[in-house]
Amino acid sequence: MTDERRTHLVFDMHGSVFRSAFILFLFLVVTGAFMYPKSANADGLFQEQLSASFDDRKTDLIIKMMPPVVTTETLENQSQKPVIQFKLYDPATKEGFKHVTYYITIEKDGKKLLSDWFHDHKGDLKIEMKPSDAESIKVYGEPDPILQAFTGTDRNPVIATGPIFSEGGLYHFMVRVTTIDYDRTLIPDDKQPEYDGWLSIGAVENQQVSLDDGSKKLIPIQIISYYDELKDFSFNPDSKEIQFTMPFDWNVTRLEANKIMVHQEVNLPKPSKLSSESYVGTIDGMNVTKNLMIDSTNSTKDIVHFMIPKPVVMEIAQQVSKVGQAGDGLMKFTLKPTI
């Protein structure tokens, strides 16, 4: 193996094994098991583990999307109905708290999509999301007669239907817990645990490019962004370089206060003149080749993942600030084959 190829993580195994290992990798990064302490704020992918306290008790909250990978394309073409789980538990014993009432607000790009009361006697709330073309979101569930909160069961979860998860990118979840242990005993306002997290819906961008080789053959490229909608796609046929941008807030204070993981997925058909054993990637001019993960197990395509953890994002942010590019609010990607 060459030194160039050693800079990549290339998995030569069955596709299902790669997917399982990759999802585990994402879980470890997103939950902070690799390098980040837990906090009540995060900026994640498909699962958040957030910490807060109630009196002298630690109360951790899991916000989890099932299945873990949801995109605008799977929602539209496969009629996917993801379920969001909210589970409050004691981190010391791993036991869940019971009789939990949640006040949940969901926002996208600062716009409030949902804000309502929910209750689960086991503390393990599940909300099924059904995207639709309706103008507003409606919630369906069994109303608690006293708490006026929606409840559900494993077989019949609470359902939220309407313009939710209709766009790719980050969704902001703000959760406040108002009862623990007892249905009818409200926690005082100044002691209610609060949590602030994010989940990602993959934004799918399909493009076709051609090379200056006289063939005029179109090569399909699919990019999935798990952070925000993509912009400004372009392709250089001479260097075979793919270029695209994504809105991004480079505010260093914001980045320091949150867990950050930027994930982009580029699908390249094979055999084609864009597929390769290795690739070079940059973000805003900084080489991030070592942060590429390549899934070459599929016989019809290479899947190149940009996996950019917080330390690398912070390093790029410092560079962007020095050259005065933070004001454009964009993260600029390039990817090209090395062979």
For range 292-308, the mean pLDDT: 91
Distances (CA, A) of 276 to 270, 283, 288, 339: 9, 20, 17, 6
Rounded CA separation 44/226 (Å): 9
Q: What is the distance between the alpha carbons of residues 169 and 263, in angstroms, rounded to a whole number?
A: 11
CATH of domain 37-201: 2.60.40.1940
User: Closest Cα partner for 2 from 277, 290, 276, 272?
Assistant: 277
Q: Which of 9-18, 131-140, 324-333 has the lowest mean pLDDT?
A: 9-18
Q: Check whether 5 has a pLDDT greater than 70.
A: no
Alpha-carbon span 19 to 255, nearest angstrom: 29
Say if residue 145 is exposed, middle or buried (CB neighbours under 10 Å; 0-12, 13-18, 19+).
Answer: exposed
**Residue 119 in contact with residue 183, Cβ under 8 Å?**
yes
**How, if at all, do strands 83-89 and 158-162 pair?**
unpaired
Read off the tokens for 223: 């990019």
Q: What is the mean pLDDT of residues 179-199?
A: 92
* Alpha helices (H) along 31-150: 72-77
* pLDDT higher than 60, residue 333: yes
Q: What is the mean pLDDT of residues 83-88?
A: 96
Note the pLDDT of residue 199: 92
pLDDT greater than 50 at residue 36: no
State the chain's mean pLDDT as an integer: 85
* b/e sequence 265-286, b meaning 16+ C-beta within 10 Å: bbbbbeebbbbbbbbbbbbbee
Q: Residue 339 — pLDDT band, cuts 50, 70, 90?
A: low
Average pLDDT over residues 278-285: 95
pLDDT score recorded for residue 10:
41
Q: Assess whether pLDDT exceeds 80 at residue 26.
A: no
pLDDT of the residue at 32: 42
Q: How far apart are CA 44 and CA 171, in angstroms?
A: 9
For 195-223, the pLDDT digits (tens) are 999 999 999 999 999 987 777 789 999 99
Least-confidence region, from 50-59, 112-121, 220-229, 273-282:
50-59
E strands, 37-168, are 47-54, 57-66, 83-89, 100-108, 111-120, 124-131, 138-140, 142-143, 150-151, 158-162
Q: How do the domains of the chain map onto residue ranges?
A: 3-14+203-337, 37-201
Q: Please indicate whether residue 326 or residue 264 has the higher confidence score (pLDDT).
A: 264
Across the strands, what pairs with 293?
Answer: 9, 305
Confidence tier at 47 by pLDDT (50, 70, 90): confident
What does the buried/exposed string (b/e) look like for 228-258 if buried means 16 or more CB atoms within 10 Å of the residue's CB?
bebeebebeeeebebebbbbbebeeeebeeb
Contacts of 83 (CB under 8 A, 6+ apart): 65, 66, 126, 127, 128, 129, 157
Q: Quick check: 226 pLDDT over 50?
A: yes
Q: Is the CB of residue 59 less than 8 Å from the CB of residue 123? A: no
Which residues does residue 103 pair with via DSSP β-bridges, in sequence order? Answer: 117, 176
pTM of this structure: 0.80
| % pLDDT > 90, the chain | 56
Q: To which residue do tokens 């942060």 refer?
A: 291
Tokens encoding 283 = 């973000």
How far apart, in Å, are the Cα atoms of 71 and each of 10, 62, 65, 162, 289? Answer: 24, 21, 12, 16, 25
Confidence at 332, pLDDT banded by 50, 70, 90: very high
